[in-house]
Structure 1
Amino acid sequence: MVYPHLPEKVPQHFGSDGVDRYAGKSVASVFVPVFVHAGALALLAGTAFGTLRITPLSELPPGRQASSLVNRPKTAEGARRVARAQLFLGFCLGLTLAVACTVMWSTAPQKQGQQPTGTLVLALLPVALGTLAVVVTALRDRGHDPGRARPTAG
């Protein structure tokens, strides 16, 4: 709906000082964030699906060696947690790209460097949070011993 009203030059790159590069208005340049998110979300959904399909270490048949090329989750529950974290990262990437789209799809005239400097931080914060969730979840799974009870508060 906004596309016909966009200026002839649309923001294309965000630096620490705001928008620092523009491109001519075209469907490709305007909808890059949408295409990037669709591709990244498909990739993350595929890795989440693959994580759920890997046989966890706790379910390997006796005598079968675990390949060093596959980072297997220790348990099926650990695989589910990692898959959820991967999908959460996809959601966070969508939030990051939504911030970029609000800047790109603004119909108000903009000058180079006019965006507030907090835009870059606001845009990158969700991806940092999603990445942290994946790393923490994977590390917790690696450290979790299914034969050992977790300590409880009390």
Structure 2
Amino acid sequence: MWVWLAPSLLMLCGMAAWGALRYPYLPGRVPSHVGPGGVDAWTDKTLLAAFVPVLVYAGLTAALAGSAALSARITPLDELARPQGRWPAVANSLTNRPASATSARRTARALLMMNALYGVALVPLCWVQWRTAETAAIPGWVLPATLALLVLGLVPLGDAWRRDAAEKKALKAA
């Protein structure tokens, strides 16, 4: 399953290398906020300020990889004891268990795919962050492309949820 983490790690390494190559050529101030009208806040050039997109993605990768690991390890509903053939009482608890081990692995893969797509979504923002000219203007495609990629990242997770819900329904009926 961890092969699904490779695209995120490659993206993270690529972003870090790209930023390291661009850092010496950055102006004295770098963007600290990008809004619909372009860059609307600036900060002095420091390693921390210049590498915000990389640091955000590193944190997101760690959080989602951890979530994927936990998702893959949870005991699924079909492995819980079913007293007298009934739906387990634990199924109605606060823990949203996957229907099966297959569903748990599918959810873990979906989280890792979502993370990789979120890395791709950060690429346009890295481009804005690492421009050598201190200009507030950004092309009109940057924010819509970023938002579209963030929404696209939810698709694998939504599909995993839909398939798990169908498996739960079949389990409950059995």
TM-score by length of 2: 0.77
Q: Of 124, 127, 141, which residue of structure 2 is paired with 1:99?
A: 124
Q: Does the Cα contact within 8 Å between 1:44 and 1:90 map onto a contact in 2?
A: yes
The question of 1:87 aligning with 2:112 is answered yes
Output the aligned Cα RMSD: 1.8
Q: For residues 39 and 78 of structure 2, what CA distance do their matches in structure 1 show?
A: 50
* Secondary structure, counterpart of 1:66 in structure 2: helix
Q: Deviations over 1:91-145 (max 9, x none)?
A: 01111122211111111341x2x10122101122222111232123213211234
Question: What is the aligned-residue identity percentage?
Answer: 40
Q: For residues 141 and 83 of structure 1, what CA distance do their matches in structure 2 show?
A: 12
TM-aligned CA deviation for residue 14 of structure 1 = 1.7
TM-aligned CA deviation for residue 82 of structure 1 = 0.8
Map residues 4-153 of structure 1 onto 2, 5 A cutoff.
4-63=24-83, 65-66=89-90, 68-110=93-135, 112=136, 114-144=137-167, 145-146=169-170
* Secondary structure, counterpart of 1:108 in structure 2: coil
Q: Whose helix fraction is larger, Structure 1's or Structure 2's?
A: 2
Q: Count how many residue pairs are aligned between Structure 1 and Structure 2.
A: 146
Q: For residues 42 and 155 of structure 2, what CA distance do their matches in structure 1 show?
A: 31
Displaced runs of 4 or more, over 6 A? none
Q: Does the Cα contact within 8 Å between 1:75 and 1:146 map onto a contact in 2?
A: no
Q: Does the Cα contact within 8 Å between 2:50 and 2:129 map onto a contact in 1?
A: yes
* Secondary structure, counterpart of 1:69 in structure 2: coil
